[in-house]
Amino acid sequence: MKKNGWLLILLPGLLCAQVKTENPYYQMTVAEIDQDIRRVSVALAEPAQRMAYYSERFLDAPYELVCEGEGENGRYETQPLLNLRQVNCMTYCEIVLALSLSDYYEEFFNVLQHIRYRQGIISMATRNHYTMVDWLPANKWCLEDVTKKVGAKDVRWSTRTISHKNFFAGKSITDIPVLMPDRTATIAYLPLDQVEKHAKALQDGDIVSLIQNQPGIFSAHMLLIIKKEGKPYFRHAGLSAKKVLDQPLGDYIAALSRNPRFVGMSFMRVKEKIDWVDGSYTHGKFLVKTK
């Protein structure tokens, strides 16, 4: 960037400091957030930089398990389509990802719906409920599974049968108009005792799925990777802490290892090139064709 005839070179950390506002997003107005998104979209070009910046804007945000739904006219869940005042582990990662892909507030809202719902169609039936079987495959336009790249020969595999019918029955919902069939899926994961060994292969903004050994489901929690002075941290909306917080990777892994329920982690990364156009529609971004 040029300023008064001089070429101004800013390191990523300095860029974050320049664009950072005083208040966290959960205490800001829509107009203030829109202004900040527009600044960041110019100042920070790389997805990893944006993921780190936006995730920090939600530190200490209150945790709420059920914080978003289909809107006030929703059939099954009437929580708002967008709630920046409270987050859970999944909505936190979704919001940070959508912000990182957007240039202004309205675009952020639209992109968020395409991350959460298949083809952006808002309904309980089209929500990407299961992280590894619904959410990741539906978002291959912006994310890639880098578990094998991170873990190399230490990667292991897990197979489950995923049932939307059982999922909805657990919520006492029996009248879903469109129900996906049961699916058997196999995923790659890195065992917990191997995560620290491969931490150098992780990048700012990588999305993490904590894998459990329970039948019918893979993911127990979602987190983000953040590097501080070269050291890896998990940034996540913690149920026990009741807020968004940072925890050193080693400490968090050590705590998880004491619970036999948790077996490993899978890793997702924002693509360098986003596949915005998919057939006849785009994933929430307004694109104008030019000659």
Is residue 150 in some structural domain?
A: yes
Q: Of 101, 104, 110, which is closest to residue 39 (Cα–Cα)?
A: 104
pLDDT score at 77: 83
Is residue 149 in some structural domain?
A: yes
Is residue 276 in some structural domain?
A: no
Dihedrals phi, psi of 275, to nearest 5 degrees: -90, 75
- CATH number for 26: 2.30.260.10
Is residue 28 in some structural domain?
A: yes
d(CA 89, CA 113) in angstroms, rounded, equals 17
Residue 266 bridge partners (DSSP): 209
Across the range 29-52, mean pLDDT stands at: 96
d(CA 34, CA 30) in angstroms, rounded, equals 6
d(CA 121, CA 110) in angstroms, rounded, equals 11
d(CA 101, CA 271) in angstroms, rounded, equals 10
The model's confidence at residue 142, banded by pLDDT at 50, 70 and 90, is very high
Cα angle: 160, vertex 163, 167; to 5 degrees: 120
Is residue 48 in some structural domain?
A: yes
Is residue 291 in some structural domain?
A: no
Across the range 173-188, mean pLDDT stands at: 91
pLDDT score at 174: 87
Average of per-residue pLDDT values in the chain = 90
Is residue 114 in some structural domain?
A: yes
Confidence (pTM): 0.90
Q: Which domain holds residue 260?
A: 2-271
Across the range 126-136, mean pLDDT stands at: 96
Contact between 287 and 277 under an 8 Å Cβ cutoff? The reply is yes
The number of folded domains in the chain is 1
Is residue 284 in some structural domain?
A: no
